[in-house]
Structure 1
Amino acid sequence: MATADLSQAPGSSRLSLQRAIWRWHFYAGLLSVPFLILLAITGSLYLFKGEINHTVFAYRTVVTETGTPALPPSALVAKAVAALPGSTATSFGEPASPAASAVVTVTTGDGPHLVYLNPYTGAVLATMRSDREPMYLLKKIHSLELFGTLANRLIEAIAGFALVLVVTGFYLWWPRGRSGGVLTVRATPGRRIWWRDVHAVTGALAGLVIFFLALTGMPWSGFWGANLSTYSAKLGIGFPAQLWDDVPKSALPTQAVLPNAGWAVENAPVPLSAPAAGAAPIGIDRAMAVAHGLGLAPGFEMALPSDGTGVYTAAIYFGDLSKERTVHIDQYSGKPIVDLGFKDYGPVGKAIEFGINVHQGMEWGLANQLVMLATCLSIVLASVSAVVMWWKRRPAGKMGVPPYPADPGVFRFLWAAAVAVGIVFPITGLAVLAMLAFDLLAIRTIPPLRRAFA
Structure 2
Amino acid sequence: MTLATEAADTARTPARGGAFYRMVWKWHFLASLYVLPFMLMLSLTGGIYLYKPQIEEAIYADRLNVTPAGAVLPLEEQVAAVEAEAGITRMRGILVEDDPGRSVRIEFNDAEGVRSYAWVNPYTAEVLATAPRDAMAMQVLRKFHGELLLGDFGTKFVELAAHWAIVMFVTGAILWWPRGQRTFKDAVSPPKGTGRAWWRETHLFTGMLATVLIVPIIISGLPWTDVWGGSLSQIQERTGQASKSLRFGGNVPGSTADSGTPIGHEAVLAVAQAEGLVSPWEMRPPSDAAGAYWIRSASLDRYEQTELIVDQYTGAVNARVDFTDNPGVAQAVSLGISFHQGELYGWVNIVQNTVAALLGATLAITGFVAWWMRRPAGKLGVPEAPEGRLGTGMIVLAIGLMILFPLMGASLLVALALDWLIFRRLGWFRAA
User: Which residue pairs with 1:130 in the alignment?
Assistant: 133
User: Which residue pairs with 2:229 in the alignment?
Assistant: 225
Cα distance change on mapping 1:288 and 1:7 into 2, 3 Å: closer
Shift of 1:436: 4.0
1:200-220 CA deviation, whole Å, 9 max, x = no partner? Answer: 101101211110011011011
Q: How many residues align?
A: 421
User: Which residue pairs with 1:203 in the alignment?
Assistant: 207
* 1:40–1:377 contact (8 Å) kept in structure 2: yes
User: Which residue pairs with 1:183 in the alignment?
Assistant: 189
1:159 corresponds to 2:162: yes
User: Which residue pairs with 2:425 in the alignment?
Assistant: 446
1:13-64 CA deviation, whole Å, 9 max, x = no partner? Answer: x610001111111111111111111111110111010111112221111222
1:317-347 CA deviation, whole Å, 9 max, x = no partner? Answer: 4421210122222212222222112111111
Identity of aligned residues (%): 33
CA distance, structure 1, for counterparts of residue 211 and residue 255 of structure 2: 49
Counterpart among 94, 97, 104 of residue 96 in structure 2:
94
Query: What SS does the aligned partner of 1:146 have?
Result: coil
CA distance, structure 2, for counterparts of residue 4 and residue 211 of structure 1: 25
Query: What SS does the aligned partner of 1:178 have?
Result: coil
CA distance, structure 2, for counterparts of residue 270 and residue 112 of structure 1: 24
Shift of 1:377: 0.7
Cα distance change on mapping 1:21 and 1:437 into 2, 3 Å: farther
| Greater RCO structure (CA 8 Å; 6+ sep) | 2
User: Which residue pairs with 2:10 in the alignment?
Assistant: none
1:388 corresponds to 2:390: no
* 1:254–1:269 contact (8 Å) kept in structure 2: no
Give 1:72's aligned amino acid: P
Query: What SS does the aligned partner of 1:279 have?
Result: coil
CA distance, structure 1, for counterparts of residue 309 and residue 48 of structure 2: 33
Counterpart among 247, 258, 265 of residue 254 in structure 1:
247
CA distance, structure 2, for counterparts of residue 450 and residue 57 of structure 1: 49
Give 2:297's aligned amino acid: I
1:345 corresponds to 2:326: yes
CA distance, structure 2, for counterparts of residue 273 and residue 446 of structure 1: 68
- Structure 1 length as normaliser, TM-score? 0.86
CA distance, structure 2, for counterparts of residue 288 and residue 399 of structure 1: 62
Shift of 1:181: 5.2
Counterpart among 272, 280, 287 of residue 254 in structure 2:
272
CA distance, structure 2, for counterparts of residue 16 and residue 118 of structure 1: 68
User: Which residue pairs with 1:321 in the alignment?
Assistant: 302
* 1:233–1:240 contact (8 Å) kept in structure 2: no
CA distance, structure 2, for counterparts of residue 163 and residue 312 of structure 1: 42
CA distance, structure 2, for counterparts of residue 146 and residue 312 of structure 1: 32
Cα distance change on mapping 1:296 and 1:383 into 2, 3 Å: same
1:104 corresponds to 2:106: yes
1:304 corresponds to 2:308: no
Cα distance change on mapping 1:287 and 1:7 into 2, 3 Å: closer
* 1:90–1:306 contact (8 Å) kept in structure 2: no
Cα distance change on mapping 1:430 and 1:411 into 2, 3 Å: farther
* 2:35–2:164 contact (8 Å) kept in structure 1: yes
User: Which residue pairs with 1:418 in the alignment?
Assistant: 398
Shift of 1:184: 2.2
* 1:206–1:378 contact (8 Å) kept in structure 2: yes
Query: What SS does the aligned partner of 2:283 have?
Result: strand
1:296-318 CA deviation, whole Å, 9 max, x = no partner? Answer: 11112101112112221112344
Shift of 1:145: 5.9
Cα distance change on mapping 1:28 and 1:438 into 2, 3 Å: same
1:77-115 CA deviation, whole Å, 9 max, x = no partner? Answer: 111211213544221111252222110112122322100
User: Which residue pairs with 1:61 in the alignment?
Assistant: 64
Counterpart among 383, 389, 412 of residue 432 in structure 1:
412
* 1:415–1:433 contact (8 Å) kept in structure 2: no
CA distance, structure 2, for counterparts of residue 269 and residue 435 of structure 1: 44
* 1:90–1:105 contact (8 Å) kept in structure 2: yes
User: Which residue pairs with 2:217 in the alignment?
Assistant: 213
Give 1:429's aligned amino acid: G
Cα distance change on mapping 1:8 and 1:33 into 2, 3 Å: closer
User: Which residue pairs with 2:241 in the alignment?
Assistant: 237
* 1:90–1:305 contact (8 Å) kept in structure 2: no
Give 2:406's aligned amino acid: P
* 1:91–1:304 contact (8 Å) kept in structure 2: yes
Counterpart among 141, 146, 149 of residue 144 in structure 2:
141
Query: In angstroms, what is the RMSD of aligned CA positions?
Result: 2.3
* 1:4–1:22 contact (8 Å) kept in structure 2: no
Give 1:27's aligned amino acid: L
1:356 corresponds to 2:340: no
- Structure 2 length as normaliser, TM-score? 0.91
User: Which residue pairs with 2:87 in the alignment?
Assistant: 85
Query: What SS does the aligned partner of 1:54 have?
Result: helix
Quick check: 335-344 or 177-186, which moved more?
177-186
CA distance, structure 1, for counterparts of residue 342 and residue 413 of structure 2: 34
Counterpart among 262, 266, 273 of residue 281 in structure 1:
262
1:36 corresponds to 2:39: yes
